[in-house]
Amino acid sequence: MSVVPKSAMAILKVSRLGHPVLRRVTQPLSLEQLRSAPTQRLIDDMIETMKEYDGVGLAADQVHESQQIAVLEVADNPRYPDKPKVPLTVLVNPRVTPLGEEIEEDWEGCLSIPDLRGRVPRYKSVRIQAWDRDGKEMDFVAKDFHARVIQHEWDHLNGKVYLDRMRDFSTLGFLQEFARYWLNA
Ligand code: NI
């Protein structure tokens, strides 16, 4: 239910670490709010913004809107070239529940923490209950990188960033050094 023609979409300014909006717990939406033209427009703009900056996910507070909306997509992404694809998904008012105790550590970055990468432990498998952009109920299981992206965005909606989840900062580094010293190690 995209009500905005593509030409009218906008690339939004991304909030960076230190902006208080990233540390606030976001607000859930009513069906009426979700289906309103401004919210549908926001979702279109979030998708556009995520694609523009080669993100695999974006939460609404990353574009200064403290609402429980996240978008994700893993396609041919130069920031994550080796990852399995995930179709474009809009999550509204999501609930994320770990399935099992299994934890996996892998690299993450964040558009709100530019140029850095670090290894973050995440549940390997999670269940997601959410609305889609039309308010239709979704209930699905995500594994591996898909589960990782969802947990990263879920954290954003709860005022957390991936740095909060790192066991220590020994792997934290800049993208250029990551590519040079870690990528093929
Ligand atoms: Ni992020």
Residue with tokens 């403290």: 66
> Is the entire prediction scored with pTM above 0.95?
no
73 is catalytic: no
Position 104: which residue type?
Answer: E
For residue 23, tell me if it sits in a domain: yes
Split at pLDDT 50, 70, 90, the class of 4 is: low
Confirm if 73 and 123 have CB atoms less than 8 A apart. no
pLDDT tens-digit profile of 125-142? 999 999 999 999 999 999
Residue with tokens 């099992």: 100
Average pLDDT (11-29) is 98
pLDDT tens-digit profile of 44-78? 999 999 999 999 999 999 999 999 999 999 988 88
Task: Report the distance separating Cα 26 and Cα 165, nearest Å.
Answer: 19
Confirm if 145 and 84 have CB atoms less than 8 A apart. yes
In the reported structure, the alpha carbon of residue 1 is separated from the centroid of ligand 1 by a whole-number distance in angstroms of 26
In the reported structure, the alpha carbon of residue 156 is separated from the centroid of ligand 1 by a whole-number distance in angstroms of 7
For residue 117, tell me if it sits in a domain: yes
How many domains is the chain partitioned into structurally? 1
In the reported structure, the alpha carbon of residue 103 is separated from the centroid of ligand 1 by a whole-number distance in angstroms of 19
The CATH code of the domain that includes 150 is: 3.90.45.10
Burial 111-130 (b: 16+ CB within 10 A, else e): bbbeebbbbbebbbbbebeb
* Domain region containing 158: 6-182
Cα-Cα-Cα-Cα dihedral sign, residues 35, 148, 155, 185: negative
